[in-house]
Amino acid sequence: MTKSYSIAVIPGDGTGPEVVAEGVKVLKTAADTFGFKLNFTNYPLGGDHYLKTGEILSDKTIADLKKADAIFLGAIGNPKVKPGILEKGILLKLRFDLDQYINLRPVKLYEGVETPLKDKGPDEIDFVVVRENSEGLYTGAGGCLKKGTPDEVAVQESINTRKGVERCIRYAFEYCRKRNKGKKLTLCGKTNVLTHAFDLWERAFYAVAEEYPDIKTDYAHVDATCMWMVKNPEWFDVIVTDNMFGDIITDLGAMIQGGMGIAAGGNINPEGVSMFEPIGGSAPKYTGMQVINPLAAISATQLLLETLGEADAAARVEASVKKVLKDDIKDVSAGRMGFTTSGVGDLVAGYVKNGIPEVGA
Ligand code: IPM
Ligand code: MN
């Protein structure tokens, strides 16, 4: 019987809908080519929906999303809405409510893409960040006192539970084993200052490591991680870290892999519903101009297909993205691709459909 999956699509704000359209185009082509079925349902969440209806994200929508096999998200963030409302009310709420406790962010430089790092190329820049996605500084724990007065106090606490930390670390070890590349997992923390939080992380890390004798372990403080990501990115295979550090180092990662135009990520609940997104924002100034690069969104569909278990389709999408980057588009940045947004989507879809003989994909 033909396999069939339901995909919830949240195009979102700004250029989100434009890049999502290309991701959906590629997903449809992959489904037709590899013989499975995808049923798409659109959810009009985001700034415009909020301004029109006053609704950010209803319980009913969350319940519906929980029934999907995967979620494909464009971008959330609208200049007409105060910063934080949509990000917290939609993106972070979904990550939390769906318990997507892993944020998986590959940092991979493809051939034909320029990196700002001198003398580094695709051989040196190829690692994956496993960011804890459900705890840390992101839970909203804390509060304020005497707000707006000279005596005001603000406390924002980092929550680290043994269970939450351990499941993330275990995922990272498993991922590192499956990836089968450098077989090295680096814990990125700040054990010299955050002596409560990262003491727990460190003990959990080395305890879980005993179950993975085939994986080398390493540790780097977050500041040093930033330094090595620039100086010696080839040292990294898989990095595991907390929510806040993961947020920061993956923006750095996105830049060394060529920018937000190609960086993709997955918010993963290994036991539930996962959500895939380009990691760049909604780029409001480019909205509707067909200049934004859809390859990040398309790479997010590759992660989505991998998670569904459609490995061949996922590999073809990646090979197609690589081909487009190497031979077709001039530059990955918005407006400099030499093609429109949908033109780039057409190129990828064409390779997905027809294959890429020279790489045997
Ligand atoms: C990301 C984003 C979000 C985060 C924002 C938009 C809340 O920066 O996905 O990395 O901080 O996680
Ligand atoms: Mn971020």
Provide the pLDDT confidence category of residue 133 given band limits of 50, 70 and 90: very high
Segment 212-271, tens digit of pLDDT: 999 999 999 999 999 999 999 999 999 999 999 999 999 999 999 999 889 999 999 999
Measured from the CA of 250, which atom of ligand 1 is nearest? 10
β-pairing, 142-145 with 4-12? unpaired
Q: Is the CB of 87 under 6 A from ligand 1?
A: yes
Give Cα 113 to chain centroid, integer Å.
19
In this predicted structure, the answer to whether residue 206 has a pLDDT above a threshold of 80 is: yes
Q: Is the CB of 242 under 6 A from ligand 1?
A: no
Question: Distance (Å, rounded) from C-alpha 228 to C-alpha 223?
Answer: 9
Q: Is the CB of 247 under 6 A from ligand 1?
A: yes
Length of the chain: 361
- Give the pTM: 0.97
Averaged pLDDT for residues 81-109: 96
Q: Which ligand is nearest to the CA of 242?
A: 1
- Centre of ligand 1 to C-alpha 261, Å, is 16
Residues facing 220 on adjacent strands = 188
Measured from the CA of 76, which atom of ligand 1 is nearest? 6
* pLDDT given for residue 199 in this prediction: 98
- Centre of ligand 1 to C-alpha 352, Å, is 30
Provide the pLDDT confidence category of residue 8 given band limits of 50, 70 and 90: very high
Share of the chain above pLDDT 90, in %: 96
Q: Which ligand is nearest to the CA of 94?
A: 1
The Cα angle at residue 360 between residues 354 and 361, in degrees rounded to 5: 50
In this predicted structure, the answer to whether residue 361 has a pLDDT above a threshold of 90 is: no
* pLDDT given for residue 64 in this prediction: 98
Averaged pLDDT for residues 58-67: 97
- Centre of ligand 2 to C-alpha 254, Å, is 10
Measured from the CA of 88, which atom of ligand 1 is nearest? 7
Cα-Cα end-to-end distance for the chain: 25
Averaged pLDDT for residues 48-72: 97
* pLDDT given for residue 156 in this prediction: 97
Measured from the CA of 91, which atom of ligand 1 is nearest? 7
Measured from the CA of 95, which atom of ligand 1 is nearest? 12
Averaged pLDDT for residues 45-55: 95
Q: Which ligand is nearest to the CA of 244?
A: 1
In this predicted structure, the answer to whether residue 341 has a pLDDT above a threshold of 80 is: yes
Q: Is the CB of 92 under 6 A from ligand 1?
A: yes
The yes-or-no answer to whether 1-109+271-361 and 115-257 have a common fold is yes
* pLDDT given for residue 208 in this prediction: 98
Question: Distance (Å, rounded) from C-alpha 264 to C-alpha 64?
Answer: 24
Which residues sit with Cβ closer than 5 angstroms to ligand 2, an ion? 247
Q: Is the CB of 86 under 6 A from ligand 1?
A: no
Averaged pLDDT for residues 323-339: 95
Q: Which ligand is nearest to the CA of 278?
A: 1
The architecture that CATH gives domain 1-109+271-361 is 3-Layer(aba) Sandwich (3.40)
- Centre of ligand 2 to C-alpha 281, Å, is 9
Averaged pLDDT for residues 329-339: 94
Q: Which ligand is nearest to the CA of 134?
A: 1
Question: Distance (Å, rounded) from C-alpha 33 to C-alpha 348?
Answer: 13
In this predicted structure, the answer to whether residue 358 has a pLDDT above a threshold of 90 is: no
Provide the mean pLDDT of the chain.
97
E strand map for 80-161: 102-108, 126-132, 142-145, 153-156
Question: Distance (Å, rounded) from C-alpha 360 to C-alpha 319?
Answer: 9
Measured from the CA of 243, which atom of ligand 1 is nearest? 12
For the chain, domain boundaries: 1-109+271-361, 115-257
Provide the pLDDT confidence category of residue 357 given band limits of 50, 70 and 90: confident
Q: Is the CB of 347 under 6 A from ligand 1?
A: no
- Select from 2.60.40.420, 3.40.50.720, 3.40.50.880, 3.40.718.10 the CATH code of 115-257: 3.40.718.10
- Centre of ligand 1 to C-alpha 247, Å, is 7
Averaged pLDDT for residues 11-15: 96
Q: Are 283 and 75 in contact (CB under 8 A)?
A: yes
Averaged pLDDT for residues 37-47: 97
